Structure 1
Amino acid sequence: MDTNFPDLRQFGGAEAFLRVCKPRVVLEMFTSKWTALVMGALLDGPRRFSELRRALDGITQKMLSQTLRTLERDGLVTRTVFPTVPPRVDYELTALGRSATGILEAIGAWAGEHADAVIAARTTYDARAAEPPRPVT
């Protein structure tokens, strides 16, 4: 272990910094922007694949399929196939998925409140990064 960083596990809650811990595996699930957006699109109830695709500007069919499969595998979304012609498939948040929506809504609210500040910081950073290097005097 790097001696510059103390082992924070003794203080509790720091296991997520360890590569093999269970909380980290779950946290990684939410690092995809599409995970949060797909779950947000399902907040109002079940939706068909085509409805989700229309609602999520910029998502490809492949990425939506992959995200829904991952969310189903993780127990956050259910996939229900109705025996109609053509087959109808609905996606819906599970109880576990709904239990995570408060966190996602809080992140969304924070993003909305601070978007201008983040964009301004990026603009300032990019302008500084575009300047030629100055000699050290």
Structure 2
Amino acid sequence: MSGSGEPGERAARAIALRVFAAVSTKWGLRVLEEIAGGRTRFRELHRAIDGISFRMLTLTLRELEHNGVLTRYDHHTANPRVDYALTEAGTQLLATVHGLCGWSRTHLDSLLTAPAHRPE
């Protein structure tokens, strides 16, 4: 993702960097993985993700929605009911992340010998 390229390439790079930043937070990927099973309610997410505060879950969901990887469905009922689901882009992003995990498993032996992964 280097070089200036065409305007469309620059826009795609900028979007990718923003999405990667949102997903690579402490909670971003965890939230996406929980939502991957289908529409999920806020309380279900909070119960499923150990250690996340209500505030941090709210901020994470907003950031992921803002970046187009999940959608928020407000049912506009007397009892507030909101569901979250991955967008097509979010589903493909999660598949890409899982592909990266497969890559690391494939190359684990050689990666473990790199200075960054050696025990101190």
Calculate the aligned-residue CA RMSD, in Å: 2.8
TM-score (norm 1): 0.63
Residue of structure 2 in register with 1:41 after alignment: 34
Q: SS where residue 29 of structure 1 aligns?
A: helix
Give ranges in structure 2 of 5+ residues lacking alignment: 4-12
Amino acid at match of 2:57: L
Residue of structure 1 in register with 2:57 after alignment: 64
Matched residues in 2 for 1:111 and 1:64: separation?
28
- Cα distance change, pair 74–62 in 1 and its aligned pair in 2 (3 A): same
How far off its partner does 1:29 sit? 2.4
Q: Relative contact order (alpha carbons < 8 A, sep ≥ 6): 1 or 2 greater?
A: 2
Amino acid at match of 2:50: D
Amino acid at match of 1:106: G
Aligned length in residues = 105
How far off its partner does 1:37 sit? 0.7
Q: SS where residue 77 of structure 2 aligns?
A: coil
Q: Please list, as runs of the form range in 1=range in 2, the aligned pairs for 1:1-137 lying within 5 A after superposition.
A: 13-15=1-3, 22=14, 23-108=16-101, 124-125=119-120
Matched residues in 2 for 1:82 and 1:91: separation?
11
Matched residues in 1 for 2:77 and 2:49: separation?
26
TM-score (norm 2): 0.71
Matched residues in 1 for 2:92 and 2:103: separation?
19
Give ranges in structure 1 of 5+ residues lacking alignment: 1-12, 16-20, 126-137
